DNA sequence: AAAGTGACCAACCGCGAAGCC
DNA sequence: AGGCTTCGCGGTTGGTCACTT
């Protein structure tokens, strides 16, 4: 569908219109809502001078009529130079999210530390969208607290609730969501790819003009629809929760990384994958321009890393790395699978597979073997 | 063409933890 | 030790766009 990259999307005009712009309270007005370029510039300057801290002073000193909370959020989610703005989650990133969500639960900040360039908000939104899609595809309301109901025009086609606080689940082999046929997919160019034309030659070629082997399945055979149908499946859990395999983070998760953010993911508490990783000539690990070791684990540490990047260059770093991801819904890479046609994917599943939907969740998984290594910070 | 809908994204809110005095 | 402030996180909400009907 070629949606515009997040940052480029046109928002309710004139800056700061989406939500309430100004606090209702008296006294000094606190601006809310969407940020303007001018505000961003002020915030960036503050960070450049003071670092990603003292958020509250931004307002107290009169730099911006924004709360420190809002400033921090803006920095973390949008202005940090190491963010993958406009990049949809790749299949590998999705796998990471699934695996880590199964491990950690809804610890988005923690999970995001394994995904360079992704914020907790990114992960959270991704997960939420994914859960909603799953719920709709499965025709099963997800458990958990009531989801936001758009309730547009009182549509009877109310969307299923989204489980907002899911318990950690034991890993299970499940299909990558992009195995699930997605309506509305159309050919297009991923915003990242647009900037990285050479990647087209590296991608798994699609057969014909509109269908072909999904890059995900091509590179990761365990994710094909057939295996998915045969695999045990944690329906009752966090949707299509997880994978039995491990995560090839060492290389794949850096696809689409926006910069030399010195962000190697922490060592994951998973085994190395038994399946081949996507390999692209000329893109060795050394070519990723990554720090040799270390990883920021917490959001604050990430802030600091990003700030260090900001010091020499206040503009977001350009996309320098290719995007290997599989785009399904609206981004453009065709995801139609020969073996997983929209109408027969679930038909291929054992009929009793859905019986577990209403069963209590299995006991939580064992804790991770080791938490992410902490960086020295700032 | 218009309405409905899903997907995606940005940002706010509430709460708890951490730090400081 | 206790209160206050700041920060970080998770959940939620609202807006926009693209696609479908």
CA distance to A58, A83, A315, A328, per residue, from A50 (Å):
10, 20, 17, 41
Q: Answer for the pair A104, A170: CB distance below 8 angstroms, yes or no.
A: no
- Alpha carbons A263 and A305: distance in angstroms, whole number: 8
Residue A65: which of A114, A16, A100, A117 has the closest Cα? A16
Residues A188-238 have pLDDT tens digits of: 333 333 333 323 333 333 333 333 333 333 333 333 333 333 333 333 333
Please tell me what DSSP assigns to residue A76: I
Q: Tell me, rounded to whole angstroms, the distance of Cα A329 from its chain centroid.
A: 14
Q: Please say if the pLDDT value at position A333 is more than 80.
A: no
Q: What is the pLDDT of residue A228?
A: 36
Question: What is the structure's pLDDT at A121?
Answer: 85
Asked if residue A315 has pLDDT above 80, the reply is no
Which string of b and e fits A261-277 if b means at least 16 CB within 10 Å?
Answer: bbbbbbebbbeebeeee
Query: Measured from the CB, is A125 under 7 Å from any atom of strand C?
Result: yes
pLDDT at A262: 36
CB-proximal positions of chain B, under 7 Å: 3-14
CA dist A220 and A340 (Å) reads 15
pLDDT digits (tens, 9 = 90+) for A120-135: 888 888 888 888 777 7
Taking the C-alpha atoms of residue A38 and residue A284, their distance in angstroms, rounded to an integer, is 39
Distance in angstroms: CA A79, C1' B1 = 40
- Could you tell me the pLDDT band of residue A141, with boundaries at 50, 70 and 90? low
Query: What's chain A's Rg over C-alpha atoms?
Result: 21
Q: Tell me which of A65 and A205 has the higher pLDDT.
A: A65
* C7: residue with closest CA to C1': A69
State CA A247 to chain mean position distance.
15
Cβ–Cβ under 8 Å, residues A368 and A248:
no
In this complex, which residue's CA is closest to the C1' atom of nucleotide C9?
A109
Q: Is the CB of A156 under 7 A from strand B?
A: yes
pTM over 0.85: no
Residue A182 has pLDDT above 50, yes or no: no
* Residues in Cβ contact with A181 at an 8 Å cutoff, skipping those fewer than 6 apart: A335, A336, A337, A340, A341, A342, A343, A345
- CB A47, CB A307: distance < 8 Å: yes
pLDDT of residue A128: 83
DSSP-derived letter for residue A277 is P
Strand C contacts in A 68-87 (CB under 7 A): 68-69, 72-73, 76
Calculate the alpha carbon distances from A172 to A128, A175, A241, A323, A367 in Å: 20, 10, 7, 27, 16
Q: What is the mean pLDDT of chain A?
A: 50
Say what the pLDDT of residue A22 is: 39
Q: In this structure, is the CB of residue A157 within 7 Å of any atom belonging to strand C?
A: no
More confident residue, A59 or A15: A59
Region A175-188 average pLDDT: 40
Count CB-CB contacts under 10 A for residue A369: 10
Q: Angle, to 10 degrees, between the axis of helix A120-138 and the axis of helix A91-104?
A: 90
Q: What is the DSSP letter of A90?
A: P
CA distance A166 to A186: 31
Which tops the pLDDT comparison, A236 or A304? Answer: A304
Average pLDDT estimate for A41-54: 82
Is the CB atom of residue A210 positioned under 7 angstroms from any atom of strand C?
Answer: no
| Nucleotide nearest residue A105, measured CA to C1' | C10
Which residue ranges form the domains of chain A, and what is each CATH number?
34-81 (1.10.10.60), 87-139 (1.10.10.60)
Which single residue has its CA nearest the C1' atom of nucleotide C13? A148
């Amino acid at each position: 569908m070629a949606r515009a990259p997040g940052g480029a999307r046109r928002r309710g005009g004139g800056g700061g219109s989406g939500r309430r712009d100004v606090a209702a309270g008296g006294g000094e007005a606190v601006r809310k809502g969407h940020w303007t370029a001018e505000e961003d510039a002020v915030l960036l300057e503050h960070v450049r001078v003071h670092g990603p801290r003292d958020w509250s002073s931004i307002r107290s000193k009169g730099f911006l009529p924004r709360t420190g909370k809002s400033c921090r959020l803006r920095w973390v989610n949008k202005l940090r130079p190491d963010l993958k703005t406009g990049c949809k989650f790749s299949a590998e990133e999705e796998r990471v999210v699934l695996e880590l969500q199964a491990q950690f639960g809804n610890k988005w900040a923690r999970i995001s530390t394994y995904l360079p360039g992704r914020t907790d908000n990114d992960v959270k939104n991704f997960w939420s969208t994914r859960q909603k899609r799953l719920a709709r595809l499965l025709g099963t309301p997800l458990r958990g607290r009531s989801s936001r109901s758009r309730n547009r025009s009182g549509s009877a086609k109310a969307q299923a609730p989204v489980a907002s606080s899911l318990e950690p689940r034991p890993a299970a082999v499940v299909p990558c969501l992009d195995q699930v046929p997605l309506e509305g997919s159309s050919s297009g160019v991923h915003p990242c790819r647009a900037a990285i034309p050479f990647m087209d030659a590296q991608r798994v070629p699609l057969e014909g003009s509109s269908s072909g082997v999904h890059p995900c399945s091509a590179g990761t055979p365990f994710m094909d629809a057939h295996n998915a149908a045969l695999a045990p499946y944690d329906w009752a859990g966090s949707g299509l929760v997880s994978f039995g395999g491990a995560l090839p983070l060492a290389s794949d998760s850096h696809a689409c990384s926006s910069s030399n953010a010195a962000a190697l993911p922490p060592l994951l508490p998973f085994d190395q994958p038994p399946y081949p990783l996507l390999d692209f000539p000329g893109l060795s690990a050394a070519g990723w321009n990554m720090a040799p070791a270390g990883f920021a684990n917490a959001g604050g540490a990430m802030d600091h890393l990003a700030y260090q990047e900001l010091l020499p260059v206040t503009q977001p770093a350009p996309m320098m790395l290719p995007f290997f991801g599989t785009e399904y819904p609206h981004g453009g890479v065709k995801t139609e699978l020969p073996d997983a046609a929209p109408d027969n994917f679930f038909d291929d599943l054992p009929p009793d597979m859905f019986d577990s939907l209403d069963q209590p969740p299995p006991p939580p998984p064992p804790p991770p073997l080791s938490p992410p290594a902490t960086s020295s910070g700032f």
